[in-house]
Amino acid sequence: MPPRIFRRWDTRLGRFVHSYGMERLVDSFGLLGAPTTPSTIYAWLSGRSTPSFTRLVALERISGGDITPQVVIQHRVQAQGTPPVSRPCAASTRTGGS
């Protein structure tokens, strides 16, 4: 197993996953109707992806409200080590009329 990258675990999300336990967390997602796998959760921790809306709601519920969408976004920024890239929404880049 590769060594942990501490910036991924030294966040509210990382500390929550560590303290709650991966197996217990996966089981809790399943009980709430939002099944997931450890590899998906590790992808969140690495900053490669973020939870879907359904899983984000379940995560907030599992954590007792401690892990919010803002906490997940802050974690992703810290895990990646760079600020997020701001992109315009599709509607603001359209030209012409309809």
Q: Are 79 and 12 in contact (CB under 8 A)?
A: no
Q: What is the pLDDT of residues 70-83, one digit of tens each?
A: 999 999 998 887 66
The parent domain of residue 27 ranges over 6-80
Q: What is the pLDDT of residues 21-69, one digit of tens each?
A: 999 999 999 999 999 999 999 999 998 999 999 999 999 999 999 999 9
Q: Mean of the pLDDT values across residues 15-19?
A: 95
Decide if 58 is inside a domain.
yes
Decide if 36 is inside a domain.
yes
Question: What's the domain count of the chain?
Answer: 1
DSSP string, 31-50: HTT----HHHHHHHHHTS--
Residues 6 or more apart in contact with residue 50 via CB below 8 angstroms: 44, 56, 72, 73, 76
* HSE-CB of 95 using CA atoms within 13 angstroms: 0
> Would the pTM count as exceeding 0.85?
no
| C-alpha radius of gyration, the chain, whole number | 16
